[in-house]
Amino acid sequence: MNSLKNVIVKYQSTEATKHLGGAEKVFDLTETQQKNLRDDLNNVSVRNGKIFWTILVAILAVFILSIVFVAFNQDKPDTIKTIFSITGVSIMGLIYYMVRIWKEKNYIDLTLTLVRTLDKEMVNSILLALLNKL
């Protein structure tokens, strides 16, 4: 699965500079590589946006189905309790994944904006900082 970290690692230089405490990863992007990086980041951002909206639709569908189920089983409180415990866990799991996807999408969109507007040296340092953070 493509993610922000996978895209950044893809453009990491094979050469590493030696520093006290070990080798530091470097980025030395050409104009073509910067364009490819922008394209890859844009593709991952679009994919994450589609996943986010799909999860949102799934959450709404589960919620509506649980309400319909409760409407048809009003006289069975144990069944209602069971369905809300099952759907509650499912919805919370989907929300957790949705937040992770949205957070990564925001990182990607910000990185994409910075790659488009900043000069080569700043882009290289930003990519290094992001790689160390991820």
Asked if residue 87 lies in contact with residue 9, where contact means CB atoms within 8 angstroms, the answer is no
pTM above 0.85, yes or no: no
What's the mean pLDDT when you consider all of the chain? 82
pLDDT of 67 reads 87
- Cross-strand bridge partners of residue 16: 25
Summarised one tens digit per residue, pLDDT across range 69-115 is 888 888 888 888 888 888 888 888 889 999 999 988 888 888 888 88
Structure tokens, 70: 């409760």
Q: Residue 92 to residues 36, 84, 110, 120: CA-CA distances in angstroms?
A: 36, 12, 27, 41
Q: 6-20, 95-109, 112-126 — which is least confidently predicted?
A: 6-20
Asked if residue 106 lies in contact with residue 52, where contact means CB atoms within 8 angstroms, the answer is no
Ranked by mean pLDDT, the top range of 52-56, 79-83, 126-130 is: 52-56
* pLDDT exceeds 80 at position 2: no
